[in-house]
């Protein structure tokens, strides 16, 4: 028997439809609630991050935490980290990819910046996602100001996938 303090920690995320909100999906983690965007099953598009956004957010959050941890551990003068992540579908049978951009602010020299860019690859979520998708990381000297008009929609992404017998909802 595994001692209680050595047992694996489990944190469950629950996603369920909300009948009080036209059946929109809502994610639950402990006391936190957040909307899940995408097709609602009755012809509407629910607002909120879609499943690909949530995957990208997980990778971005884990990367930011890993970079901050390594900066603290090495006593580097990192003042702020910003991580932008986007997911790109591939042709059927090929690997998808994540594009990850890091903005590192602080009085960091080139060697320290290179170290933190490499530290981004130690992110545990990235290691898991990297099993079935490529992750490309680059530095960016500016903060994000993504052009919303060039953003792909979840419905467009689903339409590109050739998955037989599956309704996008």
Describe the chain by its helix, strand, coil percentages, rounded to 5.
Answer: 35, 30, 35
The pLDDT, as a whole number, for residue 1 is: 58
Q: How far apart are CA 36 and CA 83, in angstroms?
A: 21
Residues 81 and 21 grouped into a single domain: no
Count of domains in the chain?
2
* Same domain, yes or no: 87 and 123: yes
What pLDDT, on the 0 to 100 scale, is given for residue 20? 85
Higher pLDDT, 143 or 97: 97
The mean per-residue pLDDT over the stretch 113-130 comes to 92
In terms of domains, do 18 and 32 share one? yes
Same domain, 59 and 134: yes
Mean pLDDT computed over 18-32: 87
Residue 55 lies in a domain: yes
Q: Are the CB atoms for 102 and 81 separated by under 8 Å?
A: yes
Residue 150 located in a structural domain = no
Query: Is the pLDDT assigned to residue 166 strictly greater than 50?
Result: no
Strands 32-36 and 96-106, bridge-based pairing? unpaired
| Assigned domain for 156 exists | no
Using 50, 70 and 90 to split pLDDT, how confident is the model at 162?
very low
Residue 167 lies in a domain: no
Whichever domain contains 98, its CATH number is 3.30.300.20
Residue 152 forms part of a structural domain = no
70, part of any domain: yes
Q: Are residues 11 and 68 in the same domain?
A: no
State the maximum Cα–Cα separation within the chain, in Å, rounded to a whole number: 55
**What is the residue range of 34's domain?**
4-48
Q: pLDDT averaged over the chain?
A: 82
Return the SS3 of 146. coil
Q: What is the mean pLDDT of residues 15-22?
A: 85
My answer on whether 96 and 78 are in the same domain is yes
Is 0.85 topped by the overall pTM? Answer: no
Convert the pLDDT of each residue in 27-76 to its tens digit. Answer: 999 889 999 998 877 777 888 899 999 999 999 999 999 999 999 999 99
Say whether pLDDT at 4 is over 70: no
């Amino acid at each position: 028997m595994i001692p209680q303090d050595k047992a694996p920690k489990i944190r469950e995320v629950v996603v369920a439809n909300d009948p009080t909100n036209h059946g929109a999906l809502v994610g639950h983690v402990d006391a936190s609630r957040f909307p899940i965007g995408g097709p609602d099953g009755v012809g509407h598009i629910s607002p909120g991050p879609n499943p690909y956004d949530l995957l990208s957010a997980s990778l971005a959050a884990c990367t930011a935490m890993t970079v901050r941890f390594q900066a603290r551990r090495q006593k580097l003068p990192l003042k702020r980290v910003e991580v932008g992540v986007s997911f790109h579908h591939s042709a059927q049978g090929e690997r998808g990819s994540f594009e990850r951009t890091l903005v590192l602010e602080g009085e960091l020299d080139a060697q320290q910046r290179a170290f933190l860019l490499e530290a981004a690859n130690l992110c545990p979520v990235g290691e898991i996602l990297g099993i079935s998708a490529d992750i490309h990381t680059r530095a960016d000297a500016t903060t994000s100001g993504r052009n919303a008009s060039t953003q792909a929609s979840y419905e467009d992404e689903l339409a590109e996938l050739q998955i037989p017998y599956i309704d996008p909802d």
